[in-house]
Amino acid sequence: MAVPIAVLDCDLLLYGRGHRTLDRFKLEDVTDEYLVSTYGFPRQFICYLVDLLGTTLSRPTQRSRAISPETQILAALGFYTSGSFQTRMGDAIGISQASMSRCVANVTEALVERASQFIHFPKDEATVQTLKDDFYGLAGMPGVLGVVDCTHVAIKAPNAEDLSYVNRKGLHSLNCLMVCDSRGVLLSAETHWPGSLPDCAVLEQAALTSQFETELHKDGWLLGDSSFLLRTWLMTPLHIPETPAEYRYNMAHSATHNVIERTFRTIRARFRCLDGSKGTLQYSPEKSSHIILACCVLHNISLQHGLDVWSAPATGHMEQSEEEYDQMESVDSEACRVRQELLLTHFS
């Protein structure tokens, strides 16, 4: 009786039963150096992900050759850190390009489901105070709860709403709004905004704004650059500093805000699927957004495991926020009063 081709496993078709694949690949069979060079992370980190995601990735399947959680995670890490589905990566763990793609999709969704577990603002007073103290130690800027900025990640042209994803450079992208602490830990990540939206419009519509206007801006604020409007909870630089206090404020602001620029660089250096060196993300905007968010989750987990993000080398394909600053002045008199009080109290 003929077997319908649709039910045949593509890995079985490609490699046959004798290939060293799937459940036969074991972490203990390879060296630490191999894991870092091929998948971007050490053994302990990979084992943690297997424990974290294993149950989700072991969902029941009718396939007799289901790919193990361990192999799915390695496949996804290989893609995130190299930006490639090329045969070398699939051969390393013995799966086809089609299966690589399924693994990336499965692991991405499992990480996105856990995003709020790893990306969030601290809530207890002691941790919030530590957050402020750490920022103050950088350049003497008080009351800082995080630094905020946008960065663009290139994607393929979507089938619908094409123009909404075209940025000022004429490229299709997602404009991602992120906040980090003084160590580069992400406190907020919204990765789904169309590239045509300027940074100020992204912030205006973002969940972050609602969050700060209703909850988090008591006795503290975020720092944003001149692409954003001054708010009571968002301190921006002075456009034309005139007094010594204003110059000191701008210098402290710039030195502190630089943390998120370094964070963007290191995320792209670690997760080469985002840096454009292998081309744009070849997915719909929604799936691309999830891949970016999954990389953000892994970034925070890597910091929890003591991996030094600042040591990652810079790449030559940075797609920094391409805003052309309009030097907008805030019409919020209360926000202006808060900034002026900050100048008088701490920089005069």
Per the CB < 8 A criterion, the answer to whether 322 and 60 are in contact is no
Residue 189: what pLDDT? 98
Per the CB < 8 A criterion, the answer to whether 221 and 233 are in contact is yes
CA angle 179-172-86, nearest 5°? 90
Per the CB < 8 A criterion, the answer to whether 118 and 300 are in contact is yes
Would you write out the chain's pLDDT as a tens digit for each of its 348 residues? 444 433 334 443 333 333 344 445 677 778 888 888 888 899 999 999 999 999 999 866 545 457 889 999 999 999 999 887 654 566 666 778 888 889 999 999 999 999 999 999 998 999 999 999 999 999 999 999 999 999 999 999 988 767 899 999 999 999 999 999 999 999 999 999 999 999 999 999 999 999 998 875 667 999 999 999 999 999 999 999 999 999 999 999 999 999 999 999 999 999 999 987 777 898 999 999 999 999 999 999 999 998 865 554 444 444 444 444 455 556 689 999 999 999 999 998
Residue 179: what pLDDT? 98
CA nearest neighbour of 292 among 161, 196, 150, 169: 150
Q: Kindly compute the dihedral angle of the four CA atoms of residues 313, 84, 103, 71, in this order, to the nearest 10 degrees.
A: -70
Per the CB < 8 A criterion, the answer to whether 128 and 145 are in contact is yes
The 3-class secondary structure across the chain, one letter per residue, is: CCCCHHHCCHHHHHHCCCCCCHHHCCHHHCCHHHHHHHHCCCHHHHHHHHHHHHHHHCCCCCCCCCCCHHHHHHHHHHHHHHCCCCHHHHHHHCCCHHHHHHHHHHHHHHHHHCHHHHCCCCCCHHHHHHHHHHHHHHHCCCCEEEEEEEEEEEECCCCCCHHHHECCCCCEEEEEEEEECCCCCEEEEEEEEECCCCHHHHHHHCHHHHHHHHHHCCCCEEECCCCCCCECCEECCCCCCCCHHHHHHHHHHHHHHHHHHHHHHHHHHHCHHHCCCCCCECCCHHHHHHHHHHHHHHHHHHHHCCCCHHHCCCCCCCCECCCCCCCCCCCCHHHHHHHHHHHHHHCC
Residue 1: what pLDDT? 46
Per the CB < 8 A criterion, the answer to whether 219 and 128 are in contact is no
Which residues, at least 6 apart from 179, have a Cβ–Cβ distance to it below 8 Å? 121, 146, 147, 148, 186, 187, 188, 189, 208, 222, 260
Per the CB < 8 A criterion, the answer to whether 235 and 224 are in contact is yes
Query: What pairing do the DSSP bridges indicate for beta strands 221-223 and 173-180?
Result: unpaired
Query: What pairing do the DSSP bridges indicate for beta strands 173-180 and 186-194?
Result: antiparallel
Which residues, at least 6 apart from 332, have a Cβ–Cβ distance to it below 8 Å? 229, 230, 231, 232
Residue 95: what pLDDT? 77
CA 270 to CA 294: how far, in whole Å? 13
